Amino acid sequence: MHSYARVYMDSTLFFVLGILGFSLATENFHWGYHGDSGPFYWEQHFKGCAGKSQSPIDIPREDAEYAEHLGFIQFNGYSDLRVHTLKNNGHSLQVDVSGDSFIEGGGLEGLYKVSQFHFHWGRRSDRGSEHTFDGTAFPMEMHIVHYKTEYGSINEALNKSDGLAVLGFMFKVTPFGSVFFFEKFLKKLADVKYSGESTHTSPMRLADMLPIPWQNLQYFRYNGSLTTPPCNEVAIWTVFTRSIFISELQLQQFRKLYANEKSSKSFERISDNFRPVQPLNNRRILRNF
């Protein structure tokens, strides 16, 4: 990160939009998704965002290489992984979880623990996801963030090239969506309407949101970065081919969230909170199928 005369860091380390982000501002810059604070300007203030292994990317499905060693990801404790706290951090909806849940296998070297998950969505349903398949975007994408347990904490993992393992799930619009999970989940969004607000939830299993069945899923794999500043290149990405269902009405609940605090004089909805796809730069995209 470049050095500046005045740098303010929010006291809370939080994860946003892609993988992980810090609430960072300089005297003249506070990153966002629109206008002169948008992704095109990030690399001028955060040198990591100009790296050669950035995320997200477009995934050309037919050109991805089959890798026999990948196999299926093993989900340990996911059936007991509970949604705990919802937060509006001004950039996205972040969801903290409770319980000890891990992933391993699938070509991952070591054990990775779940930290949180968050969402990216579009103002309209023809866009919203960060990753694309053959140039086609999805209306929303969810990232489940894990850190490598041998590093002890997410903070330490952010300094390691294999520190994070992130699972990416695309959403597909259907007439009724995922009624079982989202009807409970979406009712809580009214409590986090404004930036900085958070709320606890009644017990909800994350597994109930995932595609059915959520074991033995096909996926793409590549090495990349956080998709928000400071864009550290520390992420092993797993992007699944099977989508999660959501309805237009359910998507509208996400689009009602504000990027501003409740005390603000003006308000802007959180919308199109995705980074455009980045150059592949000769990286390999693998698949397990």
Tell me the catalytic residues. Answer: 91, 151
Torsions phi, psi for 204 (to 5 deg): -140, 130
Using CA atoms, how far apart are residues 91 and 259, in angstroms rounded to an integer? 6
Using CA atoms, how far apart are residues 146 and 167, in angstroms rounded to an integer? 8
**Which H or E run includes 95?**
strand 93-98
3 CB-near residues (< 8 Å, 6+ apart) = none
The angle subtended at Cα 135 by Cα 132 and Cα 138, nearest 5°, is 45
Burial class (CB in 10 A: 0-12, 13-18, 19+), 162: middle
Using CA atoms, how far apart are residues 269 and 246, in angstroms rounded to an integer? 20
